[in-house]
Amino acid sequence: MGVGWWIALLSAVWCVYTGDHLLDARRPPAQGESFRRAFHRRHARALSVAVLCCVALGLAAAWTLAAPIRLFGVSLSLLALAYLASAQGLLFASLPKEPIAGLLYAAGIWGGPILMGPGSATWLILAATLHGLAAVLNLTMLGVFEAEADRIEGHRSLALRFGQSATTRAAWFAAAIGALVSVALAVTSGHSALVWIVLAIQITTPAALLLTRRWSERHERYRLWGDSVFLLGAAPRILS
């Protein structure tokens, strides 16, 4: 993918992430609210200007892309707006946030390559599915650790709906299945084994953080490690 696609992708991810927190910051302050919500409330004006500038940059970069990717981007943007409205309880108020956000994240990253990649898209779709699973598991893990903060701030999560223990067990099971599939593909697919190994690491990291809960809770290590592991996604591209 060209430079314009990367700029548009990074702009979209940051704008959705920051816009979501800015919308949360508009709510009245709550006792025990998270550091992120307080930070976005204090710096709402500067961050709002930054979001508008980033949207303009992303749109300019998207204009350089092929027509199929632009159409896909418009469709995904509408879905992202619907997600933000859902997160604020305006649409689909009963849907948990983790599956929607995780699948939108994976679709945004893999949609362009799937549309424009030469040959069969089967392996790309498999990788996108596993990447989506990793994103959903990461968000689920965050929801388990931050269940009390989500309850205070009025958010929805799988952990609040099904309980932290049941959600944790489900995350362990899903991570085990996803990791087995990733390793099997690394051995049998004939494609770059590093891609599948990275996906296996991304899938198992949330489960490992939940397994070492006392260690992970210190200084919010669960968020640092849970988010940082997605930087490994650049490794196959850098080393190719």
Domain housing 212 = 96-239
Looking at per-residue pLDDT, the higher value among 183 and 37 belongs to: 183
| C-alpha closest to that of 137 among 161, 108, 169 | 169
Neighbours of 120 (CB within 10 A): 8
Q: Does residue 21 form part of some domain?
A: no
**Residue 56 and residue 71: Cα distance in Å, rounded?**
17
**Residue 16 and residue 58: Cα distance in Å, rounded?**
12
CB neighbours of 158 closer than 8 A, spacing ≥ 6? 96, 98, 140, 143, 167, 170
Tens-digit pLDDT profile for residues 158-190: 999 999 999 999 999 999 999 999 999 999 876
Please tell me the predicted confidence (pLDDT) of residue 34. 64
Q: Residue 121: enclosing H or E segment and its boundaries?
A: none
Backbone angles phi, psi at 65, to 5 degrees: -85, 165
**Residue 198 and residue 233: Cα distance in Å, rounded?**
7
pTM for this model (two decimals): 0.86
Look at the block and give the residue holding tokens 């689909």: 92
Q: Does residue 9 form part of some domain?
A: no
Please tell me the predicted confidence (pLDDT) of residue 33. 60
What's the mean per-residue pLDDT of the chain?
Answer: 87
When divided into structural domains, the chain yields a total of 1
pLDDT average, residue stretch 14-30: 80
